Structure 1
Amino acid sequence: MVTLKGEYIYLRALEPEDLDFIYEIENDTELWELSDTQTPYSRFLIKQYLDNAQQDIFEAKQLRLAICDKNDNTLGLIDVFDFNIKNKRAGIGILIKSNSDRFKGYGKEALELLVNYCFKILHLHQVYANISENNIASMNLFEGNGFKRIGLKEDWNFDGNLYNNEYILQRINK
């Protein structure tokens, strides 16, 4: 049985009430490195995004879900992107917003739920992630969920001072 509910968290579709949460994340310059963003987003643009977020993944080629705890507090976001139905693959990205909520297993459980959804409901053959070599926590999270490092993109991302390498990790649905 596939469910988007775990022991400590659940994943849900985005709601209009998520506007402020997403606005904070998308405009936090310290997180821009993770999303390849270089400009801020207006509330208007995020509202338009939320209005269209109900599109089917087969049409939008992406899916963003909120990560919530059992008390309905929104902890972060988890994304399926670059959804490719022909080749049955997609990328996955995850963010737990608050430092105080990290390293508590929420990301681990969210990733497990989403990978299970991708394999059992979307029938994907593989999922992948792009992770900076400096992001040890994310490397551990994905490798702990069965992802394997399959390549290194050298000098891939420029942080304003230095070029950083990025790994590509992959998990195949066996």
Structure 2
Amino acid sequence: MFIQGELIYLRALEPEDLEFIFLIENDVKLWEVSNTQTPYSRFLIKQYLENAHQDIYEAKQLRLVICHRETHKTLGLIDLFDYDPQNNRAGVGIVIQYEQERGKGIGTEALDLMIQYGENHLYLNQLYANISTDNKASINLFESAGFELVGIKKAWTRKGNQYKDEGLYQLIF
């Protein structure tokens, strides 16, 4: 499965993605945004990849790999999660793994491609994202794609001894 853009393409997960996913899932800096509390083993990720063939209707999620169109370098992941076919909505999340690749339009294009896919192939009515109110880069990304802040969940996530607010962003087609 390839969804083509100008800078990047999105593709389905492959067994060869094990080490890349292992790095992302075990990057402690990302645990706050992914609500992860413990490391993932290679064994668990291998099992996940073995079941990645399930379609979004079975798994209620879709994870695609973001790759550079010219070099084919794996740059990040974009997910649809909590897919609800009854109400035609899903959550969306994105991570660009390498800091030197951020701010180059990769996340913008990946999110735009996923929005188009959700609207034109899954016939979604809306997408939503949960973003910490101090994550300015993600807020800018989602707002530039047309997502609107519809509410703040107060003291929603804990980091150390502090609680952070989380914004709920929606894009209704």
TM-score class, shorter-chain normalisation, is: over 0.9
Partner of 2:89: 89
Displaced runs of 4+ in structure 1, greater than 4 A? none
Partner of 2:68: 69
The CA distance in 1 between the partners of 2:43 and 2:151, in whole Å, is: 38
The CA distance in 2 between the partners of 1:88 and 1:60, in whole Å, is: 15
The CA distance in 1 between the partners of 2:88 and 2:30, in whole Å, is: 29
Unaligned runs of 5+ in 2: none
Partner of 1:8: 7
Partner AA of 1:104 in structure 2: K
Q: How far apart are 1:168 and its partner, in Å?
A: 0.4
With normalisation by structure 2, the TM-score equals 0.98
Partner of 2:138: 138
Corresponding residue SS for 1:4: strand
The CA distance in 2 between the partners of 1:124 and 1:152, in whole Å, is: 23
Q: How far apart are 1:4 and its partner, in Å?
A: 1.4
Q: How far apart are 1:85 and its partner, in Å?
A: 0.1
Corresponding residue SS for 2:33: helix
Query: How many residues end up aligned between the 2 structures?
Result: 171
Residues 56-114 of structure 1: CA distance to partner in whole angstroms, max 9, x if unpaired? 10000000000000111000000000000000000000000010000000000000000
Compute the RMSD of aligned alpha carbons: 0.7
Q: How far apart are 1:38 and its partner, in Å?
A: 0.2
The CA distance in 2 between the partners of 1:143 and 1:64, in whole Å, is: 22
The CA distance in 1 between the partners of 2:112 and 2:8, in whole Å, is: 11
Q: How far apart are 1:131 and its partner, in Å?
A: 0.2
Partner AA of 1:115 in structure 2: I
The CA distance in 1 between the partners of 2:75 and 2:19, in whole Å, is: 13
With normalisation by structure 1, the TM-score equals 0.97
Residues 22-55 of structure 1: CA distance to partner in whole angstroms, max 9, x if unpaired? 0011011111001000000000000000000110
- The 5 Å alignment of 1:30-109 reads 30-70=29-69, 71-109=71-109
- The 5 Å alignment of 1:99-138 reads 99-138=99-138
The CA distance in 2 between the partners of 1:4 and 1:132, in whole Å, is: 28
Partner of 2:166: 166
Corresponding residue SS for 1:123: coil
Q: How far apart are 1:161 and its partner, in Å?
A: 2.4
- The 5 Å alignment of 1:147-158 reads 147-158=147-158
Unaligned runs of 5+ in 1: none
Partner of 1:23: 22
Fraction of identical pairs, as percent = 59
Partner AA of 2:131 in structure 1: I
